[in-house]
Every structure is written in C-alpha cells, then in structure tokens.
Amino acid sequence: MFKRTSIFIYGVVSYLIFFATFLYLIAFVGNLPFVPSTLDGEPRMPSTSAVLIDVLLLALFALQHSVMARPAFKRWWTQWVPVEAERSTYVLFSSLALILMFSFWQPVGGVFWSVENPVGRGLLYTLFGLGWLLVLYSTFLINHFDLFGLRQVWLQLQGRAYQPLAFKTPAMYRVVRHPLYVGWFIAFWATPEMTMTHALFALLNTAYILSAIQFEERDLQDAHPEYATYRREVPMLVPRINRPRRTLQNDETAA
C-alpha cells in the first residue's frame, strides 16, 4: 500500500508542477508583468550568443519531449521507472525542461511587426487567449487526466490494471487531427508585438511540432489500425472548407 500511495502522490505532485509550469508559460510568452522572466526584454548579451542559447534550450525540450514519448524509449525506461508512473515522469521532465528554458532564456531584441491600432491589438490578444484555451480544451477532449498521468496513478492506487483508452474523435478532432497543435500555433503567433525573440521562439516551435506530428502519427497508426482511415478523412491542421465530412465512429486519444 505504501508503494501505491507513494506513486499516487508522485503523480499528483508531477501534475501540479506541470499545471503551474503551463500557467507560467502563458505569462512567459505573453510577456505578462507579474512573472520574473518573459520571452521579450532588453538583450543581455550579443545576439549571436543569445540565439545560440535559446536554440539549445528549445532543442533540449524538443529532444526530451519527443524521445521520451516514443514506445521504444518507454519500454526501456520502465525497466527502472514503475509503469504506472511512466507518464507522470514524462510530464515532470517536460516541466523541468520548460523551467530550465524560463530560467536561461535570452531576449534578442529587434521588431518584425508592431500593431498600434487598438482594435488590431485587442483582436490579437483575444486570439492569443483563445489559442491557450484551445490547447487546454483539446486535452480534455482526449482525456486530460490520462494525458498527464493522473488516471494511471489513480488506477494503481485502487489496485486496478491500466486500460488504454479507445481511439475516438470528439468535437474538434472531427475537424482537424491535431486541434491541440493548432492551439499552440495560435498562441505562439498571435501577438501585436512580434520581436525577433518571439519570431525565433515561434518558428522553432512550429518546425518542431510539424516534425513531431510525423512521429506521433506513426505511433498512433501502430497502436490504432483505424487511425489510417482517420488520417485519410480528416486534415492534419487546416479544416476543409465546404467539403462534406464522413461521420467517424471513434475519437482520437493521445499517443
């Protein structure tokens, strides 16, 4: 019972760290004044050095986020980490990679665009908020608690075996295959002040997401044979306009 309780507490703590990190990320990208570090600011070092550090920080997050998500790594990793805590550990390491980025991020300076019109600024800030809401909403569509490890540790606390979620396509997942990533794109690009720092952050994250989708979809197709049909019928990121969509029987789950 002690082991099960410990794993459960570990999962809950990992989730709370994640959620605090997620909220901080919103403030970080949005340059909100109540957090100690933000995406933009006065440069503190030469541009070349700042860009190199930022690229390395984002690369570290990308490697952690992708490598630890692959089935082969999970099979190797769970030789030492309890299977029930594997997802929580992945979530914790992702949060730590983001915290490292918050701590050492270097503003570059320079401005690509600046929207001065109040209506335009308001629209972009609204899109920014909607992007983050879409990210969070999408996680609940595919089972937020399973995605972040809470379902796994709760089941093991009760002494019940973990049952993988069925493949389903609820709501937005009938429109595009990856509404969560659409939310990330909106949140990263919707800003009235597009600095060089922000552009670097948005471009690198966009490139990473587009490449990560290929690995994720391969894993989804291996786990769920019906994903091949879903992939043919539903666009990846951009909804089809004025084209009838067939009714799918299931909802997508996360890899």
Q: Output the CA torsion sign for 86, 90, 95, 96.
A: positive
Task: Please tell me the predicted confidence (pLDDT) of residue 206.
Answer: 97
Question: Which amino acid appears at position 78 of this protein?
Answer: T
Whole-angstrom distance, CA of residue 74 vs CA of residue 69: 7
Cβ(102)–Cβ(28) under 8 Å?
yes
Neighbours of 85 (CB within 10 A): 21
C-alpha torsion 159→162→166→172, nearest 10: 90
Whole-angstrom distance, CA of residue 197 vs CA of residue 46: 13
Task: Please tell me the predicted confidence (pLDDT) of residue 130.
Answer: 97
Which contiguous run of DSSP H or E holds residue 55?
helix 47-67
Task: Please tell me the predicted confidence (pLDDT) of residue 240.
Answer: 84
Helix (H, G, I), strand (E, B), or coil: what is residue 25? helix
Closest residue by Cα to residue 175 from 251, 238, 254 = 238
Domain coordinates in residue numbering, the chain: 2-233
CA of residue 149 relative to chain centroid, distance: 14
pLDDT along the chain (255 residues), means of 10: 91 97 97 93 92 97 93 91 94 97 94 94 96 97 94 94 89 94 97 95 96 93 91 92 51 38
Cβ(38)–Cβ(28) under 8 Å?
yes
- Residue 137's alpha-carbon distances to 84, 118, 217, 239, in angstroms, are 25, 28, 20, 18
Task: Please tell me the predicted confidence (pLDDT) of residue 3.
Answer: 86
Task: Please tell me the predicted confidence (pLDDT) of residue 243.
Answer: 55
Angle at 49 between CA 60 and CA 202, to 5 degrees: 55
Helix (H, G, I), strand (E, B), or coil: what is residue 168? strand
Whole-angstrom distance, CA of residue 45 vs CA of residue 108: 8
DSSP annotation of 114 reads E
Beta bridge partners of 186: none
Whole-angstrom distance, CA of residue 44 vs CA of residue 47: 9
